[in-house]
Amino acid sequence: MPLTEIDLALDAPPAVPERVAGLIATAEAEIDSLFDTEQNRRTPKFLPSDPRLFHAALAEVKSRALADGDLFCEWGCGFGLAAGIASLLGFEAYGIEIEPALVRHARALNDRAATGAEIIESSYVPYGFESFTGFGGEELVGGGDPGDGTPTSYDELPHPIADIDVFYVYPWPGEQEFMLDLFGALAGDGALLLAYYGERDLCAYRKEV
């Protein structure tokens, strides 16, 4: 299925609501502490994205009614900040994270802020798919068919993956094409992917029919 890139006007971001600003400030303080105390060595693949840029992008998705619905999923959610922001913007939001230490941080952050976001401890590569490291970076293999006719989903997520309206991910440089391939394989027609590539570079894609 082809992906179409969607232009977002992120140069003049909207004001950040008070609850969202408070959540960002709390998360950034906790993330700074994680790095200052070098506890991040236990989770070496964790790097935070830009929450204000993400808020601007998701707020535009909402204001322009770009998504077909309000079901949101953050892949590799880390502290679950994007999932929390999405929930505060009115989405039914879930974060997928495989590292137990980060899951604990994400659940604690969202519980304290009462965002309503749910954090699921799992791999964002679901049953039936696999990834391997090739010459160009991570590559996707597998068909994702559980073999019993049921839709592909994540444990604890009460929806098939194909029902998710908006995905968000911050891929490592070698994983960018892999994430686009994964989105193309898993998402339903019309779903959106917001992908943060670093240094205020955030792109939006729609999966076309």
Q: What is the pLDDT of residues 24-45, one digit of tens each?
A: 999 999 888 887 765 555 554 5
The mean pLDDT of the chain is 87
Pick the CATH number of 3-207 from 1.10.4080.10, 3.40.190.10, 3.40.50.150, 3.20.20.140: 3.40.50.150
The per-residue pLDDT for 134 is 46
Instruction: Tell me how far CA of residue 61 lies from CA of 32, 58, 120, in angstroms.
Output: 29, 5, 24
When pLDDT is cut at 50, 70 and 90, the band that residue 46 belongs to is low
Query: How is the chain split into domains, by residue range?
Result: 3-207
Confidence at residue 130, expressed as pLDDT on a 0 to 100 scale: 65
Contacts within 8 Å (CB) and 24+ apart, 67-71: 67/165, 67/166, 67/192, 68/165, 68/190, 68/191, 69/163, 69/165, 70/165, 71/159, 71/163, 71/164, 71/165, 71/166
Mean pLDDT, to the nearest integer, of 159-187?
A: 92
Query: Mean pLDDT over residues 71-82, rounded?
Result: 96
pLDDT of residue 38: 53
Q: What does the pLDDT average to over 68-95?
A: 97
Contact 183, 90 (CB under 8 A): no
pTM above 0.85, yes or no: yes
35-44, 123-132, 139-148, range with greatest mean pLDDT:
123-132
Strands (E), 98-157: 118-121, 129-134, 137-142
